[in-house]
Chain A
Amino acid sequence: MIIKDCDITVDSLDMSTYLRALTFSEEVEQQDATRHGDSARAFEAGLRTGTVTAQFRQDFTDNTVDEKLTDLLADTDGFVVVIKPTSAAVGAGNPSYTATMNLESYERFDGSDVGSEGLCTATFVLARTSGDNAGFARAVS
């Protein structure tokens, strides 16, 4: 597929029209569970991690990129991030991924050169929640 319509909502703000690039990954820690006598190294699945790194076109006007991300730097109890492959309605071919996250880092200027677009990068990680944060929930309806 050609990515040109990826959809991201951060703390209820649709930031898709500012989104330039997205890295969305989930990992499962693998603990070495190899035993004496085994012929191959074996691993046991451990804790999951989820990371979203989003590059946005920077915008300092009210209620857009910089104001939202600046506010979220001070957020300590997590906020909801929703990602979809396209802006179309959620369905079997366009699932949504939802998680409660923290803003881990925010680069207001992403090394932008003179004469180039002003870009910024935000990295989100799974947040501590009152219950177990099981990572991204995938939904098709």
Chain B
Amino acid sequence: MASAVKAAAGAIYSHLSSNITSIASGWSANANVAWPGVDYDPAAEWVRPTIVWGEGIPSSMGSSGTNIVTGVLILQLFDRPGSGYGTLNGYADNARNLFDRASPGSSVEFLAASGPRQVNQDDTRWLQVNLSIPFVLEDAS
């Protein structure tokens, strides 16, 4: 069985990259996204996507049967402090709309998003809210 995890991650990141302006109209995938494993100099507003892979379970018989792999996409949204959370919460709403029940391809199906949750409120440099969007990957041969 060929593992589809790499392709799934690519589809998720591609979904974010190609629709980044639906979160904030002035954003770009290069300037406003802190991609995993890539050096990034933060803009005034930005997002960090992280995929957390969960459990895989066999879903049908046979060496070429289907596995179900669960995961969560974490989106951490950042803004400069001083103007409240309104802007960030608006971006979070847009991000929810982008990923809620979305089918970005490569057998990935998003479920319902949770958040935004305000975090790191003692940080004087950034306001931050997090979204978590669970998904399932049907990993078939």
Partners in one complex: yes
Residues of A in contact with B (beta carbons under 8 Å apart):
3-8, 16-20, 22, 56-57, 87, 115, 117
| Residues on the A chain within 8 Å of B64, using CB | 17
Assess whether A7 is in contact with B61, with CB atoms less than 8 Å apart: yes
Q: Is the interface of B mostly helix, strand, loop or mixed?
A: loop
Chain B, residues 6-31, CB within 8 Å of chain A (1/0): the string is 00000000000000000000000000
| Residues on the B chain within 8 Å of A8, using CB | 61
Assess whether B59 is in contact with A20, with CB atoms less than 8 Å apart: yes
Nearest-neighbour CB distance to chain A for B107, whole angstroms, equals 12
Chain B, residues 56-82, CB within 8 Å of chain A (1/0): the string is 001111111110100000000000000
| Residues on the B chain within 8 Å of A6, using CB | 61-62
Nearest-neighbour CB distance to chain B for A42, whole angstroms, equals 41
Partner among A20, A87, A115 whose Cβ is within 8 Å of the Cβ of B60: A20
Counting from the closest, the 5 A-B pairs by CB-CB distance are A19-B61, A6-B61, A16-B62, A115-B111, A16-B61
